């Protein structure tokens, strides 16, 4: 279980642009949940993910995972048990390395490196099998530089690589936003399959309201660092895009937009 307790986060402290995004923010994600997070720009969606992953520090409060306080734990330590897929496909893979080299790198996540070969040839068949599940023909292109692949192929690889080793959390940061509609659909179906098969606790930030409704077990809407909608189970299933848009429009009017 992941718990954020009384989180406080300021941006640009001491300046005329100082902003308090989170002020006593509480948030809990139960084991096995697939949480879709929506909200307008500046609502705190990406900041929430960055706090969990350790990319930014809290100014106050605690982040607790399975009873352990990880608030001051360094990002690289957290990432041993966190898989993250970014909006930009280039961030989840190394473009100058081959598919085989990228797969090998992901396969050794969290392990100590020594003066040995980075590629274990005995694992090649395993990599081919994993890649074949993507149904993109990448299993026949192990020697191809990842930088030569399409954005969709790279994002599919990033998603696969992020879950190759045992993880507690999968963090999806608008991972379909940079893709064309057809490719985005493929990536979302792949995401759903991987989450279900691995039973990994998942938090997905998205601007696509249909994806937020169609996928996952819980929907959360943020606004100005606060949770204003939190639906799961049957309550989430009863929601539709019109209802979410009505909430967005009401917020927009209240903010004077």
The whole model's pTM is what? 0.91
Contact in structure between 29 and 35 (CB atoms under 8 Å)? yes
Tokens of 37: 């997070």
**Amino acid 84: pLDDT:** 95
What CA–CA distance (Å, rounded) separates 35 from 246?
Answer: 21
**Amino acid 112: pLDDT:** 63
* pLDDT one-digit tens code per residue, 90-133: 888 999 999 999 999 899 886 665 545 557 778 999 999 999 98
**Amino acid 111: pLDDT:** 66
**Amino acid 115: pLDDT:** 46
What CA–CA distance (Å, rounded) separates 10 from 26?
Answer: 16
**Amino acid 116: pLDDT:** 52
**Amino acid 250: pLDDT:** 85
Quote the Cα angle for 175-204-201, to 5°: 125
34-39 and 60-65 beta bridge pairing? unpaired
Task: From first to last of the 257 residues of the chain, give the pLDDT tens digit.
Answer: 999 999 999 999 888 888 999 999 999 999 999 999 999 888 999 999 999 999 999 999 999 999 999 999 999 899 989 999 999 988 889 999 999 999 998 998 866 655 455 577 789 999 999 999 888 999 999 999 999 999 999 999 999 999 999 999 999 999 999 999 989 999 999 999 999 999 999 999 999 999 999 999 999 999 999 999 999 999 999 999 999 999 888 886 666 55
Residue 27's beta-bridge partner residues? 4
2-11 and 60-65 beta bridge pairing? antiparallel
């Amino acid at each position: 279980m992941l718990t954020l307790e009384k989180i406080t986060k300021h941006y640009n402290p001491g300046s005329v642009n100082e902003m308090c995004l989170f002020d006593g923010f509480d948030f809990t994600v139960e084991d096995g949940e697939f949480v879709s997070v929506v909200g307008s720009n500046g609502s705190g969606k990406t900041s929430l993910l960055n706090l969990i992953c350790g990319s930014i520090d809290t100014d106050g409060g605690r982040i607790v995972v399975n009873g352990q306080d990880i608030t001051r734990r360094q990002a690289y330590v957290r990432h041993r048990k966190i898989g993250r897929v970014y909006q930009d496909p280039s961030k989840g893979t190394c473009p100058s390395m081959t598919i085989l080299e990228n797969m090998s790198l992901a396969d050794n996540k969290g392990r100590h490196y020594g003066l040995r070969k980075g590629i274990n040839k005995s694992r090649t068949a395993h990599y081919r099998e994993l890649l074949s599940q993507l149904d993109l023909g990448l299993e026949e292109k192990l020697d191809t530089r990842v930088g030569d692949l399409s954005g969709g192929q790279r994002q599919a690889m990033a998603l696969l690589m992020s879950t190759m080793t045992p993880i507690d959390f999968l963090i999806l940061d608008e991972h379909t936003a940079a893709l064309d509609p057809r490719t985005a659909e493929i990536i979302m179906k792949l995401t759903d399959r991987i989450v279900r098969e691995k039973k990994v606790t998942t938090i997905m930030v998205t601007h696509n309201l249909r994806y937020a409704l169609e996928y996952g077990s819980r929907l959360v809407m943020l606004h100005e660092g606060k949770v204003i909608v939190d639906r799961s189970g049957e309550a989430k299933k009863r929601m539709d895009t019109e209802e979410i848009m009505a909430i967005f429009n009401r917020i927009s009017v209240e903010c004077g937009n």
